[in-house]
A and B are shown apart, each in its own frame.
Chain A
Amino acid sequence: MSAAATTSHTGLPRTTATAGSAGRVILKRAAGSVFVLWAAVTLTFFVLRLTPGDPVTAILGGAGSSPSPETVAAVKAQYGLDQPVFVQYLDYLAGLATGNFGTSYIFKVPVLDILGPQILPTFQLAGLALVFAWAIALAFTLLTVGRGRVRDGIGRGIEVFFAALPPFWVGIMLALVFAVILGWFPVAGDDGFKSLVLPALALAIPLGGFIAQVTRSSFEEARAQPFVLSARARGLSDLAVRLGHALRHAILPGLTLSAWAVGSLISSAVVAEIIFARPGLGRSLVDAIINRDLPITLAVVVIIAAVYIVVNLLVDVLYRVIDPRITEKGATA
C-alpha cells in the first residue's frame, strides 16, 4: 500500500483520534456513526421532498372528480402537509426518536405497522444469503487455490462467471428447476427454512463469486507469508496449514467484506422477494416508490441505512478488538 493512502483499505472512514485507549476510539467511532446516520436521514428527507406530484393525490388514492376543498384541507392537516418543510422535518426527527415513522399514504396506518413484519424476513434472507455466499467462496478458495494451474484457472473462471450473474435471473432459473420442475423447494412464500433456501441462493451465488475473488487473492498472499512456510516446516499437513493459519489471517478483511455484503444484500433482496413472493423491506420499498408512498420510502431507507451503519460500526470495533495492531491508517501486515 502506498504510504500516501489516506483512506483505509477497508473503505471505512478513518477516525481523527490519535492512539488512545480502545474505549475512546470506539466512542468516537460511535459518535461519528450517529452523525452519519443523522446526516443520511436529513439528506433523504429533503431529497424525497423533491418528488413531483401531489402527496394528496397519493393519499386520496386518485380521488373521484374534484375532491372537495374540505377533504383536501383535512388530509393536509392530518398528515402535517400544511406545515413548512423545516417544521415537518423537525417533527419527523422527533417522531423517529420515539419510533414513529409517520403514516403511510397508501395504507393509512402507521408505517411501522406495515414494515414491522417485513424486517425480520429481510434479515433472515440476507443472513442466510451471506452464509451461503461465504460457503461458496471458501469452498472455491480452499479447493482451487494453489493446487495447480488447471484447478486455479477453473476456479477463477467460475468465480468471475458467478459474479457476473444477475441475481434476478439466477432466482428465476433456480425457481424453475428446483421448485417447479423438481419440487424440492417451495415455489414461494415465507414458511420456514425451506422457503428461504432458493431466494438466499439466488442472492448468494453472485455474491459468493465476488467474495471468492477477494478471498482468493488474500489467500494467495497469505500462503506466501513466512509463517506458512514455517508451519509446513514444522510438519503440519497442507490441509491443516490451509485451514488453520492461512484462513484465520483472511478473516479480518472478510469481516469488513461481510459488512459491505450485508448492505448490498439487504438492498438487493427485493428481486428475491419479488420472485419468491416473500414479504420484505425491499419489496415494500419498490412498491412504495411505484405508488409514491413517501413515508414508507423514507422509513425503509432510514432503516436500511441505520442497519448498515451499525453493522459497519460493529465490524470496525471487532476489527480493533481482534487485531490491536490496527493503526488509524487501517493497514495490516
Chain B
Amino acid sequence: MNQRNAPWAPTAAAAVVLLALTGCGGSASAQPADDTFVFATGKDISCLDPHVNGDMPQASIAANYLDSLVSQDKDGKIHPWLAESWKVSEDGLTYTFKVRDDVTFTDGTKFTAEAVKANLDHMVDPDTQSGTAGGYLKPYKSTDVVDDTTAVVTLNRPYAAFLEVLAQPFLGIESPTALKRPQAENCNSPVGTGPYKIVDYVPQSKVSLVRNEDYNSAPPFAQHQGPADIKNLEWQIVPEDSTRYGLLRAGQVDALDLMPSVHFAEAEADKNVALVLQDRPGNPTNLMLNTTRAPFDDLRVRQAFLQSVYVEAGINSVYFGTVTQAGGPLASTTKFYSPDFEDAYQPDPAKAARLLDEAGWTGRDKDGYRTKDGKRLVVHFPYTPAIWPTAHQALVTQLQASGKQAGFDVRIETGDYASVSEQGNNFDYDLRADYWNTNTADVLRIVFSSEYTESAGFVPNGSGFRNKEFDKIVNDALATDDPAVREKLYYRAQQIVSGNALQLPLYNQASQLAVRTDRFANLTLEPSLSLPYIYDVSAVKQS
C-alpha cells in the first residue's frame, strides 16, 4: 500500500493553482465605475473603419470617434461641422469647402483640406471595398487641395444628395496619417477628430474608448461644446438578445441597441429603463426579388409571391407590434415618401393563384408545390441568421410557411456571411434579405437604378432592376434643387418600383435603444441616421 505521507499533495496543489486561476478575473464589482458608460450592441462589427463595407453597427460606433464634414438637423437641413462653409457651382459639379483650421486628430495630425482629399479618395478606392460610402460617391471625380483650409471637390454629375450623404458617419473624416497604414491595422484602430478615441479592441468582444480631452469640434445639433462628460466608453458586443437585455436589466450595461421585441413590455414596465425609439428613413427592411433569373423574372410570379405572404401577422406575433409595417419602397420617415403604395399588395391567395396559373405554373406536385413543365417552383433564399435579429429569423420562417401554402418552395439556405454575400453580389439567389438606411429619397436610385447592379463592396441593387425611364427619373431628381419637382419625380419613382414588385417590404428600419435611467441621462439620437449619440450623456447625480 502506498505509504506516502502527503497523498493530498497533488490535489492540494491543483486546488491552489485553480484558485489562483479563478481568483484573478477582472474587476470584482458587477457594476462599472461611474465614469464609464457601457453600451451593448447586438451585432458584431467587422471593421472599425466605416469606410470599409459600411453597415449600421459600424456607423453606430464610428459616430463616437469620427466627425463629418457637414451636419444635418432633424428637419434635414444641412449645417457646418468640420467644414465651416461651402459654395456650390452653377452646374452643381463643383463644391468648394472651407474647413476649420483649429481641429486636430487624436494622433496629433492637424486637420486640413488635405484630409478631405485623403478621405474621399479612400472611400472610392476599390481596395477599400466600400459598399456604402463608395456607393454614395459614384458621382465623385476628384478633390483639389487649394490651401490648408480650402478643398475643391469635383463631381461627374449634379448630386443634390451630396451634402446629405456627407453628414453621415459612413463618410466620417479620418486622419490621413492613419489612412496610410495597412487596412487591417486601420480597421482595428481608426483615428478621427471625434469626442472619443479608441484605446483597445478585442474582436467579437468589446471596444474600449476614452474621452478626447482636446475635443473642440462639436456639431450644431449637440447640446454642449468641449470634451464629453463621460470619461470612458465601453462598446460591448453581445449578439444574444436575451443575454444583452439581461445585462441591461441587471445594470451590467447602461444602454443597448437592437432592443429585442420580446422584452419591450417588460422594459416599458421597468422604471429604471427608458426606451428610445425612432423609425429611420431609407429603404425599409425587405426581401429583394431577383428579376434577372427564373422564377422571379416574371412579373406575375413576383406579384403572386407578394400577395401570398402575411407580413402583418408576422409583425404582430414575433415583433409584438414593435416595428412599423412598410408596404412601399420608402420608409414613412423619408422625405418625399408617399403613403399611396402602402397597400399595393395585400394578402390575396385567390389572386396569387390566378397569377401563377397565368404565368404557367399550373401543376401541383405531391407536396403541394406549384410546377411548370415538371419543374418545381423553387425560390432560393441564402441567409445568414447571425446578422439578423431573432424576430427577423422567425419572420422569414413564417414567410416561408405562407409561401408554401401558395405553392412556392422557399428554401432558406443558411450560410456564413462571406459566402452569402458573394452569392448576393453575383445574383445567385431568388430572395435576398436587405435594407438601406439613409437620410434621403435618393436611396431609390442607389437601390434600384442600373448603375448600382455592380459595386466594389456589396451590390446595392439586389433586384437587378434595369429600367431606362426609372434611371432618368432618379438622376433628374438629383439635378434639381426644386422640392416640388423632386417630389413629383420621386412619386413616379416609387410608383415604378411598387408596380414592378421588385421587393417585399416588411417594416421600417428603426433605432430601438434601451437605456438605464438610474446612472446616466440624456442618451439622444443623432439626426442623420438616428444613431445613438453618447457625447451629450451625463452621469445622474447620485443623491
Contact = CB atoms under 8 A, between A and B. Distances in A.
Contacts of A192: 25-30
Interface in B1-32: 1-2, 4, 7-8, 10-11, 15, 17-18, 21-23, 25-30
Majority SS at the chain A contact face: helix
Interface string A184-199: 0011111111111000
Contacts of A117: 202, 205
Given A196-B22, A292-B418, A62 B184 contact: no
A290 interface: yes
B247 A188 contact: yes
Contacts, number: 166
Contact of B129 (A60, A248, A255, A287): A60
A62 B203 contact: no
A192 B422 CA distance: 41
B2 A64 contact: no
Contacts of A283: 204
A124 B26 contact: no
A71 B418 contact: no
A68 B417 contact: no
B2 A248 contact: yes
Nearest to A319: B10
A209 interface: no
Given A61-B421, A62-B425, A108-B184, A251 B10 contact: yes
A71 B30 contact: no
Interface string A269-308: 0000011110100011001001110000000000000000
Interface string A226-249: 010000000000000000000011
A279 B202 contact: yes
A313 interface: no
B184 A64 contact: no
19 contacts: A63-B129, A64-B131, A71-B126, A107-B184, A108-B187, A120-B21, A124-B21, A128-B18, A131-B18, A186-B247, A192-B28, A192-B29, A192-B30, A251-B10, A277-B238, A290-B386, A292-B419, A322-B2, A322-B10
Across the A-B interface, the 10 shortest Cβ-Cβ residue pairs: A62-B421, A187-B246, A108-B184, A62-B418, A188-B243, A248-B7, A64-B456, A62-B422, A127-B18, A277-B243
Interface of A: 53, 57-58, 60-68, 71, 103, 106-109, 113-114, 117, 120, 123-124, 127-128, 130-131, 175, 179-180, 183, 186-196, 227, 248-249, 251, 255, 274-277, 279, 283-284, 287, 290-292, 318, 322-323
Interface of B: 1-2, 4, 7-8, 10-11, 15, 17-18, 21-23, 25-30, 46, 53, 126-127, 129, 131, 183-184, 187-188, 202-205, 238, 240, 243-244, 246-247, 249-250, 252, 386, 416-422, 424-426, 453-459
